[in-house]
Amino acid sequence: MKTVLVSALVLLASAAIAPAVHAQSDSQPTDQQLAHAVRVAEARSGVGMSHVFVLAHSGHITLVGWVPERDHVARAEQSAMSVPGVTSVDNRLSPDGGSLNAH
């Protein structure tokens, strides 16, 4: 009986959430969704993301932190600009100069 009740509650909850998610996907992505998409794109392009913060506001992306290699700075900016919904990138990344690898 408990399993049936829990299953019914999960079904009702998912039915209530689905229209809100669908309605949101028809419009511009939220800042949180955009920041996540940028992080995914950068990780897929091979950018070391362990010390990178991605901030998003109305299509504007700010990248702050350190990357393990100098070429990752430019690669991060290119990856961010490739994400649909990104209108500009403020790249404040710097190569770590080996300090992160010393630990």
pLDDT in tens, the chain (103 residues): 555 444 444 445 444 444 444 444 557 899 999 999 999 999 999 998 899 999 999 999 999 999 999 999 999 999 999 999 999 999 999 997 555 454 4
Topology at the third CATH level for domain 29-95:
Histidine-containing Protein; Chain: A; (3.30.1340)
Domain boundaries, the chain: 29-95
Q: Which residue pairs from 33-40 have beta carbons closer than 8 angstroms and sit at least 24 positions apart in sequence? A: 34/59, 34/61, 34/83, 34/85, 34/86, 35/61, 37/83, 37/84, 37/85, 38/79, 38/80, 38/83, 38/86
